[in-house]
Structure formats: C-alpha cells, structure tokens
C-alpha cells in the first residue's frame, strides 16, 4: 500500500488507491481541492494558516477538511508525501539517461527549482516532531533509494566523487531549498546550488 511511488504521485485525485474502497466522486474532488488549497496557502503564508482559511479557500467546510485529514498535521503529511513521491518519480525517470552526470545534476536542479515555490513546507516537517517523520518515512526511503541509484550511476561514470552518499546529497539539497526560501536571502538558490554541485564533482584539489 502506498509503496508504489508512481501511484502515490498520481497525487491529488487518482481513484481507487490505497486498499480502501474508492472514494465517492465528490469526496475525491474535495480531498483534492483541500490538498491544493493547503499546498498553496502553506507555500504563500507558512504553516500558520488557520484550517478555516484552508477550508474556505478549498471551498469546503472545516468539517469536510477534517473528514479527510483528521489533524492539521496529517494534512502536512499528505502534502509532504505527495511531493516527495513526485521527486522520487522524477529521479526514476532520469535513471535511464545516457548522460548520468547530467541526469544527476539536472535532477538536483529540478529539486531546488520546485522547492523554491513551496515555502515553509519543509520547515513544517522539521517542526512537527517525531510521529510525523515516522509516517513520511516510507516516502522518504523511496526517494533516498531513487536518488542513490541515480547517484551511483553518476559516480560510476566519474561525474560525481565517490565518497558522497544519497542521504548526504539529499541533506545538501534540502539545505539549499530551505535556505533559498528565507526572505532577504542575498544569494539565489542557483548560486548556492552551483557551489554545492562543484563540491560534489570529482576534484583533485582540496582533499
């Protein structure tokens, strides 16, 4: 269940998922709307947005929101998982590329580019404590696996030095994303990414 990233990434609206009986058409639509509204609002105003506001933007009552996500935190989770799954799918897609180095670094660029749009979500993850991590763990592991695959290929091709690991790469990218979203940031995420990528490349110097 939910272990197939592709399915999960179908994201906001695929019918017949998850072992539960498929949701009714309207329920499905509402769920998607809530997810969409929440994502937008979290991105725009941070995770502080009241649930009422999310519900209103989604055009549903709070009750409906709570029917789908019994807790505000569950809502974070859902969005988070969906996004992670999206990235995982992206990584898998790039796996067959002819130029592994380009595939790898291109993936990182994607990650950073997309994340800049979603201010604060990752911070929300950070703040939400342990339970949270547990639930998102599955999705995260899938992403790690995919990134590691991509990384290993690039390393074999000599485009990335051999002493870095998938998790380290993800941490670095996460850092770049989070930092780039901070207001008043002097450097763009691209500038930062460039340095990080250089650090990841094979180098003769400095080691």
Partner DNA sequence: CATGAATGAGAATTCATTCAT
Partner DNA sequence: GATGAATGAATTCTCATTCAT
Q: Which one of residues 68, 94, 118, 140 is an interface residue with DNA (CB under 7 A)?
A: 68
Q: Which is nearer to DNA, 57 or 161 (CB)?
A: 57
Report the partner that residue 176 touches, choosing among a second copy, DNA, none (CB closer than 5 to 8 A by kind).
Answer: a second copy
Task: Tell whether residue 71 is a contact of DNA (CB under 7 A).
Answer: yes
State whether residue 70 is helix, strand or coil: coil
CA 46/CA 53 separation, integer angstroms: 12
Task: Tell whether residue 73 is a contact of DNA (CB under 7 A).
Answer: yes
Task: Tell whether residue 172 is a contact of a second copy (CB under 8 A).
Answer: yes
By CB under 7 A, what part of segment 145-174 binds DNA?
A: none
Task: Tell whether residue 42 is a contact of DNA (CB under 7 A).
Answer: no
Count CB atoms within 10 A of the CB of residue 71.
11
The closest of 178, 174, 2, 11 to 86, measured between CA atoms, is 11
Interface with DNA by CB under 7 A: which range of 24-32, 79-87, 149-157, 161-169? Answer: 24-32
Residue 80 token pair: 């988070």
Task: Tell whether residue 16 is a contact of DNA (CB under 7 A).
Answer: no
CA 192/CA 197 separation, integer angstroms: 9
Task: Tell whether residue 138 is a contact of DNA (CB under 7 A).
Answer: no
Task: Tell whether residue 26 is a contact of a second copy (CB under 8 A).
Answer: no
CB of 189 to a second copy, least distance (A): 9
CA angle 36, 189, 130 (to 5 degrees): 55
Binding mask 97-126 for a second copy (x = CB under 8 A): -----------------------x-xx-xx
Inter-CA distances, 104 with 49, 63, 92, 123, 190, Å: 35, 43, 11, 25, 16
The closest of 130, 96, 114, 128 to 173, measured between CA atoms, is 114
Task: Tell whether residue 52 is a contact of a second copy (CB under 8 A).
Answer: no
The site for DNA (CB under 7 A) is made up of 23-27, 29-30, 48, 50-52, 59-64, 66-68, 70-73
């Amino acid at each position: 269940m939910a272990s197939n990233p592709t399915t999960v990434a179908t994201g906001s609206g695929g019918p017949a998922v998850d072992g539960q009986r498929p949701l009714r058409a309207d329920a499905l639509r509402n769920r998607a709307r809530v997810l969409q509204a929440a994502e937008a609002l979290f991105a725009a105003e941070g995770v502080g947005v009241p649930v009422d506001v999310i519900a209103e933007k989604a055009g549903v009552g709070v009750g409906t929101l709570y029917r789908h996500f019994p807790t505000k935190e569950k809502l974070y989770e859902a969005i988070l998982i969906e996004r992670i799954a999206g990235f995982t799918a992206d990584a898998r897609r790039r796996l067959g590329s002819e130029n592994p180095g380009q595939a790898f670094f291109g993936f990182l660029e994607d990650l950073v580019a997309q994340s800049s749009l979603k201010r604060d979500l990752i911070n929300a993850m950070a703040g939400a404590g342990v339970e949270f991590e547990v639930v998102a763990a599955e999705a995260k592991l899938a992403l790690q696996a995919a990134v590691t695959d991509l990384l290993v290929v690039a390393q074999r091709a000599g485009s990335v030095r051999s002493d870095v690991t998938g998790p380290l790469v993800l941490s670095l990218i996460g850092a770049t994303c989070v930092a780039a979203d901070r207001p008043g940031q002097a450097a763009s995420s691209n500038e930062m990414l460039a340095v990080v990528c250089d650090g990841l490349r094979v180098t003769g110097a400095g080691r």
